[in-house]
Structure 1
Amino acid sequence: MQFEKVSQFDNLEMGYVYEFSGGYISRNQNIFSQIELTDLNKFILEKAVLGTPIFKLGDGGIKLLVLSGIHGNELPSQIANLKLLNELVGRELNHAVYFIPFAAPKATMDNRRFFNSMDLNRSTHIENSLSNLILNAAIELGINFVGDFHSTAFNSNPGFEAIFSTKSPCPESFLMATYISKDVGSNIISYDFAGASYKGAVEDVCNLKGIPAITGEVLCPFAQVAEGSVERSYAQMKSFLSYFGI
């Protein structure tokens, strides 16, 4: 994967995971109306038209991935990811942090859960699915830990704010989730073994590949941005980084 320095933003580099997933985020007014139009966010929105962009801050130490938008209609985490990236750009970091704010910009544009009729959080194990390509990019980049952030509605799975994790084969998944749960008050949901309940979740397949990962969920109706939901997702992301001293 090729990364290029972004000259107008200190220490920021970017590349593309996939170039056939682009979308105009501005056409989804439910999310666009909630995005602060900083120069950086304008730049990111422009790049999302061309595919799934990935951004990098910092060098050295361990490598972390903050991921959102696996489900295009789960909006709070995508906004929170932008907020976090804006906060950290230009800062000197002790680790390398990668950001994918919009995993499937086309799905976000359409305010749809699926991308090309595929649930990306049930298809990470399927070769050449978009979530599989994100996983492969993480492996290629040597990502050490993944935080995948979502939102959940009442009467859905799980239907309340939570951190998903597994105890095997990567015990640190559970340790990260425990830390975040204690830090920000999210409920913890832990399984004994990754992929035991269903196949294809980004978190599970990362864990099965030896990359400890968690899934963060905040409560918000699908395709909307509920009051406080962005702040809760942002708190989960910040806690994920805090576990590693960022």
Structure 2
Amino acid sequence: MSDKFEYNLIDSETKGDIFNNPVIKNYFNNEGFTENNALMRYVSETRKGSIVYDVGTGNKSLMIIAGVHGDELAPQIAVIKFMEEILNGEWNLRCKLYIVPFLIPKATMQNTRFLDYKDMNRQATNSGITKYIIDYALSHNVVGLCDCHSTDPNKKPGYNSVFCSIRPLVESSMIARYICKNTNSRLLPVYMAGSTIMGSVEDESNLRGIPSVTCESVSPVCKIDPSGVAESYNQLISFLNYFKVI
């Protein structure tokens, strides 16, 4: 397997320089990410907008997303950590993997939950980046999607958790149960996708035929808690382990 990522720009309206967010910039410097020239070349592409990176080959196509909410920084860092490990040859992927560490670079740059005053995790049925990413997943035959978020300890849910639905795709709950069994996360199921939250990436993906979960790790908004990064990383690794591709 080649460790080189291919990448596609799917929305230029979301462009932003994530390094104008000082929290991100400092963390990249402190963790040594900036010393990995290949990684930095890929990350710099987000100045153009929303980028989907893909790597690996296999019978299955999977997708990992972070940054639907720009101020939830821990999962975005966790995905970057995983990308760096792929570049360093630490993983043998047995799938085609689509990775989106910064779905909305503009929101990450501004350290905000919103894109132009809209919560994009309520907009996946409308025209916009969250709909575009599901469209992209469907057009590339993705069979499992993990949407990585974080939760402020003082807000709901406030603990490490995995959201899922039982209908219309029972595999959503199977994936979530597996992740919870293998991480420090609690299961948060609903019976029918879209019955409590409309327009989220997870719900709309399930409704459109892609088994999907939302993983939440505990980390204060606008900040990066290393324990939140670690739990988000463990959640995405468990997601991949469920499909037996690493």
TM-score greater than 0.5 by the shorter chain: yes
- What is the TM-score with the length of structure 2 in the denominator? 0.93
Aligned with 1:33: secondary structure?
Answer: helix
Cα contact 1:162–1:187 (8 A) shared by 2: yes
Higher helix share: 2
1:18-64 deviation per Cα after TM superposition (whole angstroms, max 9, x unaligned): 11211111110112211221223311231000011110111221110
Is the 8 Å Cα contact of residues 64 and 146 (structure 1) preserved in structure 2? yes
- Aligned partner of 2:144 in structure 1 is 145
Map 1:72-151; keep pairs closer than 5 Å: 72-89=70-87, 90=89, 91-126=91-126, 128-151=127-150
Q: What are the within-5 Å matches in structure 2 for residues 151-166 of structure 1?
A: 151-166=150-165
SS of residue matched to 1:139: helix
1:16 to 2:9 alignment: yes
Once the two structures are TM-superposed, the CA of residue 95 in structure 1 deviates from its matched residue by 0.7
Quick check: 1:28 aligned with 2:21?
Answer: yes
What corresponds to 1:221 in structure 2? 220
Q: Which amino acid aligns with 2:21?
A: N
Distance in 1 of aligned mates of 2:128 and 2:5: 27
Hey, what's the Cα distance between the residues in 1 that align with 2:73 and 2:39?
15
What residue number does 1:5 align with?
none
The residue that corresponds to 2:49 in the other structure is 51
The answer (yes or no) to whether the contact 1:23–1:48 under 8 Å persists in 2 is yes
Q: What number of residue pairs does the alignment pair up?
A: 237
Change (3 A) 1:46 1:227: closer
The answer on whether the counterparts of 1:24 and 1:45 sit within 8 Å (CA) in structure 2 is no
- 1:75-117 CA-partner distances (Å, limit 9, x unpaired): 0000110111111235542111110000000100000100121
Aligned to 1:195: 194
Paired position in structure 1 for 2:61: 63
Q: d(CA) in 1 for partners of 2:147 and 2:25?
A: 21
Work out whether 1:238 is the aligned partner of 2:237.
Answer: yes
RMSD (Å), alpha carbons = 1.3
Structure 2: tracts of 5 or more residues without a match? none
Q: Among all aligned residue pairs of Structure 1 and Structure 2, give the percentage whose two residues are the same amino acid.
A: 33
- 1:168 shift after superposition: 0.6
Q: Equivalent of 1:39, from 28, 37, 40?
A: 37
Q: Runs of 5+ in structure 1 lacking a partner?
A: 1-8
Bigger Cα displacement from structure 2, 102-111 vs 88-97: 88-97
